[in-house]
Amino acid sequence: MTLQSNLSPVRKRRAGVLLHISSLPSAHYTGDLGAEAYRFIDFLHEIGVRVWQTLPINMPHADNSPYQCLSAHAGNPDFISLEALQAQGLLTKEDLTGLITSKAHLLTKSYLTFIQQENTQSNQWAELAFTCFCKKQAHWLDDFALFLALRNKFNQVGWNYWPELYKNRDKETLKLAQVELAQEIAVIKFTQFMFFNQWLNLKNYATSKDVALFGDIPIFVAYDSADVWAQPHLFKLDADKNMTVVAGVPPDYFSATGQRWGNPHYNWDAMAADGFAWWVSRMQTQSELFDIVRIDHFRGLEAAWEIPVDEETAINGQWVQAPGDALLAAIKRALPNINLVAEDLGIITEEVDALRKKYDLPGMKILQFAFSGEEDNPYLPHNIESNSVVYTGTHDNDTTVGWHSSMEDHQREHVHTHLRAKGLQDHQFDIPNQLIEIALESDADLAVIPMQDILGLDTSHRMNTPGTVTGNWHWRFNWQQLSKQQQDSFANAVTRTGRH
């Protein structure tokens, strides 16, 4: 049986823009949920764009990768708007002067101000809201707050290197830690309260402007995370809680040794035993924050590549079946209105495709992968089905300008041949605008364009280069990069292709 979701925002003919929160303009070291986020929604509304896609918004490790986070639930504190805290009277104007390279001490100050504020009616409401938040989110927040406080106590080392009683969650030891670290735990919970409050305010504003928020979750979680520390039985670990196998993908056209991601694999039998409660809880959080949620590496829900932990590359792994059908059925039962998108890039088997289609999930089509010369290439515009999300490129791709300038001549000629077939002369070629138009003209219900392509930026502005560990996730834009001509051109293309 196919589950229909025709009212889903991802099944309407719409245009979207891909821009992570960190890439928004800001007076500080990263974009945040302040005035510029609201301005971006106004911009999308003005040009007729109805979807804003971001990367995962969870709290990352020190490398800032949104795909390796400390929790499957907790939001990134760096995204909290300090200006919004000032407007609430939790910070002063002086607090926001000078070079701010971390928000941690200001978030602590906000909490201390919050609990010391006079007992006014508005403050009573805020305290009640905080209490209700902590109670509602306790199923993940309690473990996360203690985990992060202990991680700070042990100088940021992974939980598997903590003293045995902490590592193994000895009850009496953790009770004493909760007393010892009570204020720090409270600050962490308050920080999450502020994040969720600011995010939901932004989401409400986006809804008022007819803009849907499109989120993203990595299929796997980081080993050094509150999730694995709190529920190690849900992951494939040995008796000493070390990983036995790690996640990745096998060798392919892009890498002769594959990719060894290093994430722990799920103990699917343990997860199935309680009806996939951990996954359902995770998706519940995401469905509250977003209108649409993309599952990264969807093929791992049918079968995942397991690599022995002592292997340095991904070559000597094996495919191991996963209960994707039962998992998706559990998610749909618990959250019947959730709108999911399957990241089904790479080598996809018939079984993976059948699983996606059974649950009526849109797949992804990337135009940068389309022009290989084969007519059956699934990414070619005329092969794209309506139940798809089409992109010029994603956060893992080069910008379209960079892609076009760096490709080999024979590949570039395939692109030009396609443009000539549209009636264009060589002197009329305008990359990336024509690739944007191809995406918008396609049959895909949703077409998402990276902000870098709208701005016509080159390789130096790409967000991430897979397989590298430095120089990623830092790209920021400013409004001066956007000309009126670029804005009008994109808005006109959205209208002309019936996506407004």
Q: Which residues are catalytic?
A: 296, 343, 396
H/E stretch holding 417 reads helix 409-421
Q: How many CB atoms lie within 10 A of CB 335?
A: 17
CB 315 within 8 A of CB 323: no
Nearest to 352 by CA among 368, 381, 268, 343: 343
Whether residue 392 contacts residue 449, with contact meaning beta carbons closer than 8 Å, is answered with: yes
Cis-peptide into 432, omega within 30 deg: yes
CA gap 25, 479 in Å, rounded: 8
Check if the beta carbon of residue 72 is closer than 8 Å to that of residue 221. Answer: yes
Q: Round to whole Å and give the CA distance between 296 and 249.
A: 13
Residues 6 or more apart in contact with residue 172 via CB below 8 angstroms: none
**Cα atoms found within 13 Å of the Cα of residue 228, Cβ hemisphere only:** 25
| Residues 301, 80: Cα–Cα separation, whole Å | 33
CA dist., res. 353 & res. 302, Å (int): 9
Please enumerate, as own/partner, the contacts of 405-410 that have beta carbons within 8 Å and a separation of 24 or more.
Answer: 405/458, 405/459, 406/459, 410/373
Which DSSP category does 311 fall into? -
Cα 303 to chain centroid distance, Å, stands at 22
> Which amino acid, one-letter code, is at 224?
D
Q: How far is 326 from 406, CA to CA, in rounded Å?
A: 43
Q: Which of 17, 393, 20 is nearest to 212 (CA)?
A: 17
Bridge-based pairing state of the strands 14-18 and 446-450? parallel
Q: Cα(334)–Cα(319) distance, rounded to whole angstroms? A: 29
Structure tokens at 416: 């030009």
Half-sphere exposure of 438 (CA within 13 A, CB side): 33
